[in-house]
Structure 1
Amino acid sequence: MTPLQAQAGAPRTHVWKAEALFKGIPGTMIIKNAKTGEQYVYNPKRSMERYTPESSFKVANALIGLEEKAVADEYEVKRWDGVVRQFDVWNRDHSLASAMRASAIWYYQAMARDIGSEKMQRDLDRIGYGNRDISGGIDTFWLNSSLEISAQEQIAFIEKLVKETLPFSEQNMKTVKRIMIDNDQDDYTIHGKTGTRLSDMGLGWYVGYVETKKNVWEFATNIDGSGSTARNITLEGLESLHIIDPPDAEPEK
């Protein structure tokens, strides 16, 4: 198991010596037990620093879009506008669910425009999402722009989603949790969303939660790198804590 050190004054928070997982990449990772509040934090200082959410904001955007009826449900399709973008999987029609899986930015930008600045600001204020600053433009504020959030704040947001205590309808929260499913195995289900600063690949996120047979664990990782790398580090972290089982791993703790 990766070495842990109990943090003074916070008996259920462990400073996590996870340098081996990050391999020299600057970053932070939090993994928190939704039932007990016990959490493991690598690089606590960075975990409190705010960064732009990039496509990890799609989780909040989907919730707000459903709540404000900018989309009817996870199946509502928006037609591709014919503009060829950098990833082939973006260059087609998408639904709310498929655009989450493909991280098709254009779909969520169009939905944000349909939501509008007034409703978007109101809902970000209601859920307390990061610095709540949408001044960077209704369809760009989360993309290397004005909106920023810390890993600790991401965990707080995901925890409310897990427990369905956000100020949204139960049905909409369940829908978003369902379309976040990233890996569904016999022993666990991971609900997660990556985010990458596409201009230089210099910031990556992976946020979400994993359901096991015994517990629910929330996670938030950001690094100086891509979202896919943040995802890989998170999975290795979950394995190192025996929350999910790699080949020949010990049973879940």
Structure 2
Amino acid sequence: MLQMKKLSHLSHLMVVLVTLVGLFAYSPSADAKPGVRPLELQHIFHDTQGTLVLKNLKTDQVYQFNPGRSQQRFTPESSFKVANALIGLEVKAVADEYDVKRWDGIVRDFPVWNRDHSLASAMRDSAIWYYQAMARDIGQVPMQHYLNRINYGNRDISGGIDTFWLDSSLKISAIEQADFIERLVEEDLPFQKKTMKTVKRIMIDDEQDEYTIHGKTGSRLSDMGLGWYVGYVETDRNTWVFATNVAESGATAKQLTLETLKTMKILKD
């Protein structure tokens, strides 16, 4: 009789244990997010030092190439034009995307810079002087205020109001860039909806029937030893955020990003 009671007690204990194991093994949650998947892109990057962060906003799946570098902070260079444009529009340092600044007559490195520019054309042609002038019009206090609010990298503008993002004090990682772009796509930044829609529009880099790419390059002009391409691509099915940096130019970062998007069948050849 005692033996039977022991067996019954043991059976009950086993049922409880199996139930608990099942609960821990299967714990569905609406908030659960997929983990980070590695990207094997050596056949695309070859000897180029760099990283790429990619996120599917429909599934929340994140992909990374060279995750160690994706967490390192670098100066954003001209990829900062995205944040700069948001802040400039918000504080009315510029009226809209068509607001023109007259060329000051100083001949700069690229002929396309040596003319009058609007906010939109200066984004497209990466005319640094326009965005430097706008940063001066924004001013140090508002600039710092908004960089703090959007938590942009290390938020350090001590390098000077019109140079802090150019091989200077401000630094940001590829992961942080991707997060910033995602919040812009979702219009979840502390700016007016109109401001965010305008900046997304002037970021359009390529528009096809099957997709639209919104992106901005950035290059460290002193040695072309740092390049960025950040933005997002909209397709019929998904929206993908990307942030790439390399130890070469922004043009290289863009090329490698596009090759990756084609390899992953996000873009069609």
Q: What is the TM-score of this pair, normalised by structure 1?
A: 0.93
Pair 1:163-2:180 in alignment: no
Pair 1:50-2:50 in alignment: no
- Shift of residue 31 of structure 1? 1.0
Q: What is the TM-score of this pair, normalised by structure 2?
A: 0.87
- Shift of residue 74 of structure 1? 0.1
Residue type of the alignment partner of 1:88: P
Q: Equivalent residue for 1:113? A: 136
**Computing the radius of gyration over CA atoms, which structure comes out larger, 1 or 2?**
2
- Shift of residue 61 of structure 1? 0.1
**Alignment counterpart, residue 128 of structure 1, candidates 144, 151, 156:** 151
- Shift of residue 23 of structure 1? 1.6
- In structure 1, the gaps of 5 or more residues are 1-9, 247-253
Pairwise CA RMSD: 1.0
Residue type of the alignment partner of 1:148: K
- Shift of residue 12 of structure 1? 3.2
- Shift of residue 34 of structure 1? 1.2
CA distance, structure 1, for counterparts of residue 211 and residue 34 of structure 2? 27
- In structure 2, the gaps of 5 or more residues are 1-32
Pair 1:214-2:237 in alignment: yes
CA distance, structure 1, for counterparts of residue 62 and residue 155 of structure 2? 25
Moved runs in structure 1, 4+ residues, more than 6 A? none
- Shift of residue 40 of structure 1? 1.2
CA distance, structure 2, for counterparts of residue 184 and residue 31 of structure 1? 20
Deviations 1:118-165 (A, max 9, x none): 000000000000000000000000000000000000011000000000
CA distance, structure 2, for counterparts of residue 12 and residue 180 of structure 1? 29
Aligned residues: 238
CA distance, structure 2, for counterparts of residue 174 and residue 11 of structure 1? 29
Pair 1:14-2:37 in alignment: yes
Identity, % of aligned positions = 68
Structure having the larger proportion of residues in strand: 1
Residue type of the alignment partner of 1:49: Q
CA distance, structure 2, for counterparts of residue 12 and residue 77 of structure 1? 45
Q: Equivalent residue for 1:149? A: 172
